[in-house]
Structure 1
Amino acid sequence: MDNLLFGLEELGITKTNGVDIFGEEKGDSRLKTKIEESTVSEQKESDFLFEKTMTCPVCDKSFKTKQVKIGKPRFIGTDSDLRPRYEGVDTVKYDAVVCLHCGYAELMRNFNSISSRQIKDVKENICNTFKGITNELGEYSYPAALQRYKLALYNGVVKHSKLSERAFICLKIAWLYRAQIESLSKDTEDYAKVAREYAINELMFTKNAYEGFFKAIEKEMPPICGMDETTVNYMLSDLARRCQDYENAEKFAFAVLSSRSASAKIKEKTRAELEIIKKEKASSNK
């Protein structure tokens, strides 16, 4: 699938086919993924949400967006690529904020960080054709969350945001596709076909996240997307493994283990990661 931003056409965003997310040629990495069991909770996801009123820095209009109540959900851990897991709610779904009026979209932490030049680019390339988006009742469905993230990614391309910021959005989109697989009912018609499609999309965005972060560390200084150098190296080790780039997976892992500032906890996780890398590398050479 060549168009990473498929699904935005119904919002009036039609110039997405062939968009190069990072503005350079991409490699042809093969990827692997792991489907993990989802957490079941008796509470409804909507119980963890509230409506936050925001003002758009592009069009100056107010709108409401769903956010997760701070301290409400119980943290239960992360996947190997740092995807967070909470009991009862997928917090990732609610980090992409979209102005319902003009189509400006960004991750919550960066929403108000936009220059006058970037505002001009967004108005010219997005606002002029944006048809509007609905703030769903209750929790966001995965298709709705993915649409918001892809709009945020396209905004990032249009306003030339940092490589790391675009890469982080790609990574979060990959997490959403993984979660969509986990939440898919086995009774779904053509279950295997649908699950495979989601898995392919997860792999595609994982690949782009790895590419973006790999390029970003050559041009940006830590912290990168709020992560220190050690955390970035650990994450890149896991993403490289998923891309079957085992040489760089080992290199990033060794960078963590040799770091004097790395905690004992992250070094322990990295040693476990190295064991997985070695097994997968040996398996791929058979």
Structure 2
Amino acid sequence: MQPIEPFYEKKLTCVFCGKPFTTQRVRSRFSIPHQVDSDFCPHFRDGNYNPHFYYVNVCPDCGFAFSEEFSDQFPKGSKEIIRFQITGHWTKRNFGHVRDIHQALESYKLAILAGSLKQEKNAVLAGLCLRLAWLYRTENNTDQEMRFMGLALNAYEESFVHSDFAGSSMSEIDVLYMIGELSRRLGQYKKAITYFAKAIEHKNAKDEPKVINRAREQWKVAVEENRQGTTQK
């Protein structure tokens, strides 16, 4: 009996140019984290693989990078901008094999650029920036981790204001929690306390007990950090 490989090939069609290509995915049995941080960043032991290395799909032909959260709708004029800014400068290469950390990081930066030019939802851009921050955390690159956490925070705040998380995998309570937790991690404790409280007091709180319990725990952490007088950023 042949051993099961940790990776499998997935066939995709580029949402921008329409050409087919293949990419890799990690089988779930090989991507079990041994630890998950309070902002949902997973950590893996040897023998397990980080599926977030493969969250972004990169078309080898045109260079457009996207996640499964991207819509297939392009605002008027955006395709021309993408063609000029991305495809016009693209050196054809294949991200469809097993990726190292450098290729994973590059795939996210390509997707953030593509999503920004496409005017993708703030919730989608926030998710990309957050996952990129996670990858930098695993590399102990604190400066870049903080940079992309800050961009994720800004995008989640915009998503909350415009309610553009509707139709995504996130609820309003999820968004409030993420604003609170990223604010806390960036040293903005008063803002964190405010947003955790908004989540806890939300009208639908009883429907989402897991995230509400987590929000209560992190509210206590943020209150204590603020009490200790750590400089408000």
Same fold (TM over 0.5): yes
Q: Distance in 2 between matches of 1:180 and 1:213?
A: 24
Task: Name the counterpart of 1:61.
Answer: 19
Consecutive unaligned residues in structure 2, runs of 5 or more: none
Tell me the TM-score normalized by structure 1: 0.70
Task: Name the counterpart of 1:93.
Answer: 53
Task: Name the counterpart of 2:223.
Answer: 278
1:221–1:165: structure 2 CA closer, same or farther, 3 Å change rule?
A: closer
Q: Distance in 2 between matches of 1:109 and 1:222?
A: 11
93, 103, 121: which one aligns with 1:133: 93
Q: Distance in 2 between matches of 1:205 and 1:145?
A: 15
Q: Deviations over 1:72-96 (max 9, x none)?
A: 6436563211224566121111111
Instruction: State the 1:271 CA deviation.
Output: 1.9
Tell me the TM-score normalized by structure 2: 0.85
1:59–1:260: structure 2 CA closer, same or farther, 3 Å change rule?
A: closer
1:109–1:70: structure 2 CA closer, same or farther, 3 Å change rule?
A: farther
Instruction: State the 1:142 CA deviation.
Output: 1.0
31, 41, 45: which one aligns with 1:83: 41
Q: Distance in 2 between matches of 1:72 and 1:115?
A: 38
Amino acid at match of 1:68: V
Consecutive unaligned residues in structure 1, runs of 5 or more: 1-45, 182-197
Q: Deviations over 1:77-130 (max 9, x none)?
A: 632112245661211111111001101111123264545643333212211110
Contact 2:31 2:50 in 1 (8 A): no
163, 179, 199: which one aligns with 1:256: 199
Q: Which has the higher contact order (CA 8 A, sep 6+)?
A: 1
Task: Name the counterpart of 1:160.
Answer: 119
For the residue of structure 2 that corresponds to 1:102, the secondary structure is: coil
144, 147, 170: which one aligns with 1:201: 144
For the residue of structure 2 that corresponds to 1:110, the secondary structure is: coil
Amino acid at match of 1:277: A
Runs ≥4 residues deviating over 6 A:
none
For the residue of structure 2 that corresponds to 1:63, the secondary structure is: strand
The number of residues matched between the two structures is 224
Q: Deviations over 1:112-152 (max 9, x none)?
A: 45456433332122111101223364x31111100000000
Identity %: 24
Question: Is 1:235–2:178 an aligned residue pair?
Answer: yes
Structure 1 vs Structure 2 CA RMSD: 2.5
